[in-house]
Amino acid sequence: MQDTIKTIIDTLIPSAKSLAFALIILIAGLVIIRFIRKRLVRVLPKSKIDPTLQPFLLSVSDVALKIFLVLSIVAVLGIDTSSVVAVIASAGFAIGLAFQGSLANFAGGILLLIVKPFKVGDFIESEGFSGTVRGIKILYTELQTIDNKVIFIPNGKISNASITNFSANETRRLDLKFSVSYESDIDKVRSILMDIVLKHPYSLSDPEPFVRLSEHADSALIFTVRVWALSENYWALNFDLIETVKKRFDENGISIPHPQLDVHMEHH
């Protein structure tokens, strides 16, 4: 009986030691991984690595370190790591089918980093969403919307979708239309619009601004204004021009037809 107990103890003690050692490695490994991640978060922005590539590298390194930790624990427990790798390899096809969406997203992320249709900080529109790119992660691309929401778009989808990059070029053209009554002096209207555009600090003189009467609508004359601006000034210029035009039209007695009034008159 004593021999049996001694045999059991002799068997359990090494296993208990292995489990305790594996637990220590797990806790220490997670602490080290967390430390490395925090260090990378601080160091990467200061490095020469492309900012677009940095979130992806952070995601990949995090996954790689955790896989290495798991293999280390398996080795400590006395399980042959080569056999584990062989099992994973033999089950690769089944795993690929089960995670084909994730694999497509991973491949999509690689494709986005190679082709570079956008970079971190660009304002884009894709898959019905628009926002500023915060990062291309291992599976998802993060967008921050104008109203401060965060949207996660799978890399597999965005890499196969149409992408509008509003930040790709340094300048953008702003197109606006203004309607005035048929009684208005078209030369005066054109002069006022051109004066507003030329005096605004965000409007560029090259290419030259365009202001012309472009349409004889049913109840109004339509003027088209085209002016170029730096991409970061696009929306500020847009709203400034709309507000300023209304004020200058009022000051000069130029009436803007009211759509609802026209519809009411047509019914009579």
Nearest to 184 by CA among 122, 115, 89, 250: 250
Element (H, E) at 59: helix 54-76
In words, the CATH class of domain 103-165 is mainly beta
Four-point Cα dihedral 184, 187, 193, 197, nearest 10: 180
Q: How many CB atoms lie under 10 A from the CB of residue 55?
A: 22
Q: In the Cβ-directed half-sphere of 28, how many Cα atoms lie within 13 Å?
A: 8
What confidence category does residue 61 fall into, taking pLDDT thresholds of 50, 70 and 90? confident
- CB atoms inside a 10 Å sphere around CB 227: 26
Class of the domain covering 171-262? alpha beta
Nearest to 237 by CA among 190, 171, 186, 188: 171
Query: Any residues with CB less than 8 A from the CB of 45 and at least 6 apart, and which?
Result: 51, 54
Task: Please report, for the chain, the start and end positions of each structural domain, with discontinuous segments joined by +.
Answer: 2-90, 103-165, 171-262
**Over the Cα atoms of the chain, what is R_g?**
32
Does the pLDDT value for residue 90 go beyond 80? Answer: no
94 versus 144: the higher-pLDDT residue is 144
Structure tokens at 3: 């021999």
Give the rounded distance of the alpha carbon of 243 from its chain centre. 31
CB atoms within 10 A of CB 228: 19
| Residues 33/24, Cβ–Cβ less than 8 Å | no
Contacts of the segment 90-98: beta carbons below 8 A, 24+ positions apart: none
Least confident of 19-33, 191-205, 252-266: 252-266
Residues 31-51, mean pLDDT to the nearest whole number: 78
Residue bearing tokens 């305790």: 20
In the predicted structure, residue 180 carries a pLDDT above the cut 80: yes
State the Cα–Cα distance between residues 74 and 218, nearest whole angstrom: 79
What is each CA distance from 166 to 21, 152, 156, 163, 256, in whole angstroms? 54, 19, 21, 10, 31
| Integer angstrom CA distances of residue 262 from 16, 19, 245, 254 | 88, 83, 22, 17
Give yes or no on whether 2-90 and 171-262 have one common fold. no
- Which residues lie closer than 8 Å to 218 by C-beta, 6 or more apart? 262
Answer whether 141's CB lies under 8 Å from 127's CB: no
Whole-angstrom Cα distance, residue 217 to residue 178?
12
Read off the pLDDT of residues 230-246 as tens digits, 9 standing for 90 and up: 988 999 999 999 999 99
Please tell me the CATH code under which domain 2-90 is placed: 1.10.287
Query: pLDDT tens across 183-219, in order?
Result: 999 999 999 999 999 999 999 999 999 999 999 998 8
The 3-class secondary structure across 178-199, one letter per residue, is EEECCCCCHHHHHHHHHHHHHH
Q: Per-residue pLDDT tens for 123-155?
A: 999 988 999 999 888 888 999 998 999 999 999
